[in-house]
Amino acid sequence: MIPIFSTLNMMQRTLAVQQEAIQTTGHNISNANTDGYSRQRVNMATWLPYPGIGINAAGGAGQIGTGVNADSIIRIRDQFVDQQVRDNSNQNGYWSAVNDAYTQMQGIINEPTNTGISSVLDGFWQSLQDLAGNSGTSGTGTVVLQNGKEVADTFNNIARSLGQVQNNFSQQITANTNLINGYSDQINALNKEISTQEANGLITNDLYDQRDALVGKLAQLVNVKVSTVKSGGNPSPLADGKYTIEIVDKNGNSFNPPATLVDGTALTNTHLQTQITGSGTSAPSVQTTLVNLDGTPSGSGTLTNMSGKLQGIIDSYTVDYPSVLKSLDNMASTLATAFNAAYEGSAGYNPAKGTFFLGTGSGTSPGTVTARNIHVNGGLQGSDVTSAASGAPSGDNSSATAMANVIAVNTYNVDGSGSSTTLKNYLEGLIGQIGVNAQSAGQFVNNTQTMLQAAQNQQSSVSGVSMDEEMTNLIQFQQSYSAAAKVVNTLNTMLDTLINQMG
């Protein structure tokens, strides 16, 4: 027969376990709105039965239960769902960066509007048509000059604005690289703290949540693979262990050698380094490597074919914007070369004053013409722009027609691809391609956002705090605590009878 004082010990343990469960429920309620928090649960298990197995064990009808024990406090987490959230966050981060870049680009190109480059080019073409129809009027030459200046100014403004946004991307690359390195430092510090506590048999649920929150933010910036390393000492079988975090390519494949950002075994970490070269040129590049904290190479080599927000910004900086700027430069150069050739055949051309469009040169030599530097020769006047060709009789408009045909009739191999098109059609194609790319990026953002939201909802259903569930648990634990207290009162009455009332 089990002693009555053993029953009191059992109920004392029961009260303590129920209080621990109430404490954990209160902790969940308190952190219901804490970002990254996972609800926690007390794992209850039966305590050792009486009597134990042995040659001197007491006899009886059988083993008697001795109550409950708080076996462990764990957080509710699904690693598979966590990985889904990270993967979708990574894709959404990439396409959000690309979409933001194209949104800014569309705002600068400003098409289709009455002030966009298409409308300005149409106005230039129309002024040349008017010049052809009014061969004897000098005022139309002045209008051609003004509209030509508007075309050049529009090219300049677009190129400068795109260049400024592109330079902002280089700053964003540096800022996001610093973010990644900050997360690397924080995760490694948490690894060290977790390792110390786990070695003493503790389960550090709140530290696990902090670490997972940082990994989630890191996954939005670069694609990572997370693996666990068991802590030393005497860790609980339920302990999560230390994280080793490796940067992988967009397909989830490891680099050779592996790009280890955080090493859970050695409790060390590295930093990401992005070296930007060719800034301000038509072909900027970004080299991404891992370095040790002292700046020496980590031996991982150059990281390519990555994904995430950082890669989205890098692609916008090195591919998308340079491509559009190059197309605008090609168009401005082609326009200047072809239009100057047509203008130099007109009766108004004066070699002493120079040609129509200029770049880095002057006079009759336009130099290198780009979208950023194209401009109309400031020495020209309205009388220098005539409809007639050089040596042609009065009333001739062949020169004005030839200049107008440069824009809308003649075809050119603008980008050197071997395909010829008119300048107007080339511009329409460029604007159309920007629109298609922007639309595609927007659709990918919407799709990845939907998938991310679904994964986050699933994660929340698993790990999130439900107030209804916690209140139900609270009532349950409160009732158990009250019932255990009543058992103690009963035992107290029994002891009183035994001690004070038995004669």
pLDDT computed for residue 173 by the predictor: 97
* Most distant CA atoms of the chain, gap in Å: 146
pLDDT computed for residue 138 by the predictor: 61
Contacts 24+ apart (CB under 8 A), 45-50: 45/69, 45/71, 47/10, 47/13, 50/2, 50/6
pTM listed for this prediction: 0.90
How far is the C-alpha of 43 from the C-alpha of 69, rounded, in Å?
9
CA nearest 227: which of 187, 264, 275?
264
How far is the C-alpha of 239 from the C-alpha of 425, rounded, in Å?
65
- Exposed/middle/buried for 482, CB within 10 Å: 0-12, 13-18, 19+? exposed
pLDDT computed for residue 135 by the predictor: 62
Question: Euclidean distance between the first and final Cα of the chain, in Å?
Answer: 23
pLDDT computed for residue 374 by the predictor: 97
Map out the domains of the chain as residue ranges.
4-76+464-500, 166-320
Q: Which parts of the chain have pLDDT scores under 70?
A: 1, 52, 54-62, 135-138, 503
Q: What are phi and psi of 254, to 5 degrees?
A: -75, 150
pLDDT computed for residue 64 by the predictor: 81
Beta carbons of 206 and 218 less than 8 angstroms apart: no
Each residue's pLDDT tens digit, 84-139 = 999 999 999 999 999 999 999 999 998 888 888 999 999 999 999 999 887 655 67
Instruction: Name, in order, each residue with C-beta under 8 angstroms of 314's C-beta and a sequence gap of 6 or more.
Output: 173, 274, 286, 288
Beta carbons of 224 and 86 less than 8 angstroms apart: yes
How far is the C-alpha of 339 from the C-alpha of 121, rounded, in Å?
13
Q: What three-state secondary structure class fits 386?
A: coil
How far is the C-alpha of 440 from the C-alpha of 107, rounded, in Å?
17
Written as six digits, the tokens of 236 are: 């609980």
Beta carbons of 337 and 369 less than 8 angstroms apart: yes
Q: What are phi and psi of 224, to 5 degrees?
A: -130, 155
How far is the C-alpha of 240 from the C-alpha of 76, rounded, in Å?
12
Written as six digits, the tokens of 401 are: 């027609």
Beta carbons of 160 and 372 less than 8 angstroms apart: yes
pLDDT computed for residue 201 by the predictor: 93
How far is the C-alpha of 48 from the C-alpha of 416, rounded, in Å?
84
318: enclosing H helix or E strand: none
pLDDT computed for residue 136 by the predictor: 56
How far is the C-alpha of 178 from the C-alpha of 158, rounded, in Å?
31
pLDDT computed for residue 55 by the predictor: 64
Helix, strand, coil share of the chain (percent; to 5): 55, 15, 30
pLDDT computed for residue 313 by the predictor: 97
pLDDT computed for residue 25 by the predictor: 97
How far is the C-alpha of 166 from the C-alpha of 341, rounded, in Å?
34
How far is the C-alpha of 10 from the C-alpha of 492, rounded, in Å?
14
